[in-house]
A and B are shown apart, each in its own frame.
Chain A
Amino acid sequence: MWTIFCSIKRSWTQHFVTQFSAFLVMSLTYSAALFIALAVSNTESLLHWWGQVNKVTVYLKHGVKTEDKERFESYVTETKLVKSLSKVDSKESSRRFKERFAKIANQKISLDKIDEFFPEFYELNLNQNLAYNSQKSALTAFVSRLKVKFPQIQDISFGQQWLQKYLSILSSFKSIAWILIALFLIASLIASSSVIKTLLFARRDEIEILEFIGASEFRIYIPQIVNVLMVSCLSFFFAIAINFTLYQQMNSPSMSVFNLSTAGQVSFISFGMIALLFAISFLCSLSYSVFTIFNLMPSRKKAMVISEVFRK
């Protein structure tokens, strides 16, 4: 272990610029990947924030009995999903329509004959947890349940069109985001591979001497792999720090453009997501550095020493 540490220390002392460049490149790629992960994890809440579904309108059929209405009201009131409800009868419904129609037509018109045309309806104000969070299935399930339980219901409106668009956008965004994350991780792998090749080339004389003296390939090349893993881990933690700073700036009311923090919807990347990305980047760095070194080993190239490998 001490030998590996000394070797890495020597490598950093002698090739500081190369090592530091690799650290910066990997930090940038990891930062970009983590920023996308941050965006993905907040997409749902941001989209909800922009297109709130907090009100459900339940249209009744004509001639629904009073006891049915009472049964509906007591059921809805008892459920914890609904904060409050308000009943709108046919006259009020008609009045609202006339008012809106007048605004559209920009003039007062008489529509007395359609007073009985509009059905009664209920406006249900949903609780925050059902209205804002990602439980789209919970909302649709609740609506379906109402329709089954109360055949007197004509229709229920809760912004279905928005929900469909929302799901479509969310799905596309997530796919593109994961592709971008993968591309950035690949970029970090190419960076780590280039570091190994550059360092081995720069240290070829030293490695050759170690080979001449009888050091095993394991002893010579393990420090290179440990070095890449160390740079990869440091870069990852640095990228987390950058993203956390960015997140705090976004959540700061004085700095935020959208003032998202007041909506309480933006959160930092979950620990599980960070752990997953860290594990992926670590395993990729490990496997790719082993692959690169394995392909540069003199024994693989049928060469006697490393300098012959670079000459070939």
Chain B
Amino acid sequence: MIELSHVYKTYVAEQHILKNLSLNVNKGDFVFLMGPSGAGKTTLFRLVTGFEKVSSGQIRINGFDLNKLNLNKRAAFRRSIGVVFQDFKLLEDRNVFENVALPLQIMGYKKWDIVEKTEKMIRKVGLSKKINENPSYLSGGEKQRVAIARALVHEPSLVIADEPTGNLDWRLSEEILGLFKEANQKKGTTLLIATHDFEIVKSTPNKRLIQIEKGQLFEKGEDQPCGRFFAPLKEAGLNIL
């Protein structure tokens, strides 16, 4: 599903933001990407969503080689995934329905299918009463839910989310995570979620936890070392996993 092979990303010469990253994510995996600010989470997020190119190395997602995407393939790749942005990226001049329906329109669904699927998804994220509101009239949490609904509405095989619960309280975070879990369990959707929130990681069974620190990846597993980010937590006796 996701294959990263010796990926480097450099903006300024000799200063690697990401260093020699290799990672395999299989279909149906529920992967959390954690790490301190400035560790390279957002850069990695932008690389795997196809919004930036690697300096060297290779990324293959859903059969697309992200280094070799032409115009049409790039659009097709972006349609095959669902993305939740940290800053939501909602169209301010369109209401909740129109924002959520956008991927379906772009994919050429029929009007009635668009209405049915969109309304169903908006009900799921609990925004039925605000279906005709524009994003400027929504709270941060509501905007986040619209962004998540937009990422899930076309039932992509892979959803990549950057801090999807960053603007939500604990109760709403649980609800949103419930949507991701449902997609993962019922439809086998692969999820890659970058987050700071230990609570949602803790409450998710059967997940993979990957730490990114100083541009390098560490995976928490039986035979793999725990990164420095988790070490103080472990030393403090916090069993987060």
Contacts and interface: CB of A to CB of B under 8 A. Distances in A.
Interface of A: 3, 10, 14, 206, 208-217, 219, 299, 304-305
A206 B83 CA distance: 16
A212 B150 CA distance: 12
Nearest to A206: B91
Interface string B27-51: 0000000000000000000000111
A219 B52 CA distance: 22
B53 A211 contact: no
A145 to B, nearest CB: 69
A209 B51 contact: no
A216 B80 CA distance: 13
Interface residues of B, number: 26
Given A304-B51, A305-B51, A216 B91 contact: no
A206 B90 CA distance: 8
A101 B72 CA distance: 90
B198 to A, nearest CB: 29
A215 to B, nearest CB: 5
B12 interface: no
B83 A216 contact: no
A209 B71 contact: no
Q: Nearest 5 CB-CB pairs, A to B? A: A214-B79, A214-B78, A216-B75, A215-B106, A299-B71
B75 A217 contact: yes
A71 B75 CA distance: 88
Interface string B197-235: 000000000000000000000000000000000000000
Contacts, number: 50
B103 interface: yes
Interface of B: 49-53, 71-72, 74-80, 83, 85, 89-91, 93, 102-103, 105-107, 150
A213 B156 CA distance: 12
Task: State the main secondary structure of chain A at its contact with B.
Answer: helix
B89 A214 contact: no
A212 B50 CA distance: 9
Contacts of B76: 214
Contact of B79 (A14, A206, A213, A304): A213
Contacts of A299: 71, 74
B240 to A, nearest CB: 32
A215 B150 CA distance: 14
A1 B91 CA distance: 21
Contact of A215 (B49, B53, B75): B75
Nearest to B53: A304
A57 B50 CA distance: 87
A216 B107 CA distance: 10
Contacts of B103: 213-214
23 contacts: A10-B93, A206-B93, A208-B89, A209-B89, A209-B90, A210-B102, A212-B49, A212-B83, A212-B85, A212-B89, A213-B78, A214-B80, A214-B103, A215-B75, A215-B106, A216-B71, A216-B75, A217-B71, A217-B75, A304-B50, A304-B51, A304-B52, A304-B53
Contacts of A215: 75, 106
B40 to A, nearest CB: 18
B72 A216 contact: yes
Contact of B78 (A3, A14, A206, A212): A212
A209 B91 contact: yes
B105 A3 contact: yes
Contacts of B102: 210, 213
A217 to B, nearest CB: 6
Nearest to B70: A299
A214 B64 CA distance: 14
Contacts of A10: 93
Contacts of A208: 89
A304 B71 CA distance: 10
Given A3-B105, A10-B93, A211 B52 contact: no
Nearest to A297: B71
Nearest to A211: B78
A220 to B, nearest CB: 9
Contacts of A213: 78-79, 83, 102-103, 106, 150
